[in-house]
Amino acid sequence: MRLIIASNNEHKVREIRQILGSFFTDMATLKEAGLNIEVVEDGATFEENALKKAAEILAACPAFDAALADDSGLIVDALGGAPGVYSARYAGEGHDDGANNEKLLYELRSTPKAQRGARFASSVALLRRYREPLCFTGFCEGEILFEPRGENGFGYDPLFYYPPLQKSFAELNATEKNAVSHRHASLMMLKDALENECENWSLF
């Protein structure tokens, strides 16, 4: 079974291959498949966006049997769940991570530490031809700092504090972050579902 991964992110693709590689005979990124496609993520939830992306990619790749896509973002309790599905464009279209972080800090400027709870969410969707889609959402709980900390990561990582390790996500190395991340959680749920299918001889 050939899988196309709806991403060219090196770190993300490596993690997907490590966790799901045994279920597929071949795995390729969009770039490796010679595909340049931009899917409009206009869903109301992370799940909707991941499923839409996987469906459009699979439709554009007849040589592949399955497509895997994900959508992720930050959910802040004090902001009613914002920025949510708008995480990448929280400060507006065309703005970068720095602008998004500045807006987040501004919106939380009067919010005390006890009310700055937040979580990262990641939905992964696997679409296979002639099968029901599989979609799972993983979370990582934390809180929003009052100022950025750390030089690693991207997006909201410098502002997202992870209490069990007493560090921001931007202070974690790649191995530490991958072990506790929201994407790792969703991929592990997908792996469990595929293993269950294998046990019932229904994967292929």
- Other beta carbons less than 10 A from residue 141's beta carbon: 14
Backbone angles phi, psi at 9, to 5 degrees: -70, 115
For residue 27, the surrounding DSSP H or E stretch is strand 26-29
* Residue 71 Cα distances to 14, 42, 46, 136, angstroms: 17, 11, 5, 11
**Which of these is catalytic: 71, 96, 97, 157?**
71
State yes or no: cis peptide before 164, omega within 30 of 0.
Answer: no
Catalytic residue list contains 71 = yes
Catalytic residues: 71
